[in-house]
Amino acid sequence: MPDAPTRRHIALALATALLVPLAAACGAKDTAGTGTGADTQGSPPAAPADLTVLAAASLTEVFKAVGAAYEDSHPGTKVTFSFAGSQALAAQVKQGAPADVLVTADTKTMDGLRKETNPTAVIAKNRLVIATAKGNPHRINEVKDLVDARLKVVLAAPEVPVGRYSKKVLDAQNLTVHPVSLEPNVRAVLSKVEWGEADAGLVYRTDVAAAKGKVTEVQIPDASNVVAQYPAATLKTTKNPGAATAFVSWLTTPPAQRIMLEAGFQSP
């Protein structure tokens, strides 16, 4: 049987063995609680990365501001945008274009890319308006005025989100418009009106705001209008899944939403 000193040594050794893992666990808890190198759930934040975002043409101005704000709040991350009509972006994704995030101007286009994208989140909404030449010289007051054969009206092509939205608005009122051209994206429609090549066109309200007085807006009542939704998703081929997911998540946060609202978009 061990003597008294030996028994004391054994007891001290056992106590030390029990205290070491307890101290380590406490230390880990303190580190996560401070947020140093971790988020509020204790998981590491996304590492800085160079992100390429494919975005609908109607997001051109606002996303430049969004990207700058994101880079300011995420040091080391650079966001590069490529803007085009949603249908053109979808074609790029299907062809394997190197990118991290996709944002379209409708859910239909995004739904057609389920094999290429991860789960989506609607980050903003929009509505249609009539854009007329500055000062509205032809006194266009409502959608039915666009059927006047004397007017040069331009619309987006039917495969383009704004073209589909425009068709819904016209069909709901049983109106037939014969456009002088069908454009590949909403900014091309707006440009035709800005340059005097068309008297009017159907665009998003945010596009008229971005034109800064170069065209005049004629509102379409909500009862006769449609709501455009902008879904965002990370691409399955992204080489920066953590950073891409963080960017998409940030688009729904108050700082990002403030920028979107100031540009005329609606909350998702």
Domain range for 146: 126-227
Same domain, 121 and 237: yes
pLDDT at 115 over 70: yes
Q: Is 256 exposed, middle or buried (0-12, 13-18, 19+ CB in 10 A)?
A: buried
Same domain, 154 and 206: yes
Cβ atoms within 10 Å of 178's Cβ, excluding its own? 10
CATH for 63: 3.40.190.10
Cβ atoms within 10 Å of 171's Cβ, excluding its own? 10
DSSP states of 126-179 as a string?
EEEEEEEETT-TT---SGGGGG-TTS-EEEE-TTSHHHHHHHHHHHHTT-----
The verdict on residue 31 lying in a domain is: no
Same domain, 223 and 162: yes
The verdict on residue 101 lying in a domain is: yes
**Average pLDDT of the residues in 124-145:** 97
The verdict on residue 171 lying in a domain is: yes
pLDDT at 32 over 70: no
Same domain, 170 and 249: no
For 206-227, how does the pLDDT look when each residue is reduced to its tens digit (9 = 90+)?
999 999 999 999 999 999 999 9
Model pTM score: 0.81
Domain count, the chain: 2
Same domain, 105 and 187: no
Give the mean pLDDT of the chain: 87
For 231-255, how does the pLDDT look when each residue is reduced to its tens digit (9 = 90+)?
999 999 999 999 999 999 999 999 9
pLDDT at 25 over 50: no
Q: Are 224 and 172 in contact (CB under 8 A)?
A: yes
pLDDT of residue 97: 94
Cβ atoms within 10 Å of 116's Cβ, excluding its own? 16
Same domain, 183 and 150: yes
Band (45; pLDDT cuts 50, 70, 90): low
Same domain, 172 and 238: no
The verdict on residue 64 lying in a domain is: yes
The verdict on residue 51 lying in a domain is: no
Same domain, 163 and 219: yes
**Average pLDDT of the residues in 168-190:** 97
Same domain, 86 and 140: no
Per-residue tokens: 264: 């005329």
Q: Are 135 and 216 in contact (CB under 8 A)?
A: yes
Cβ atoms within 10 Å of 193's Cβ, excluding its own? 27
Same domain, 62 and 84: yes
**Average pLDDT of the residues in 127-142:** 97
Distance CA 127, CA 162 (A): 10
Same domain, 134 and 187: yes
The verdict on residue 2 lying in a domain is: no
Distance CA 63, CA 83 (A): 10
Same domain, 136 and 221: yes
The verdict on residue 201 lying in a domain is: yes
The verdict on residue 79 lying in a domain is: yes
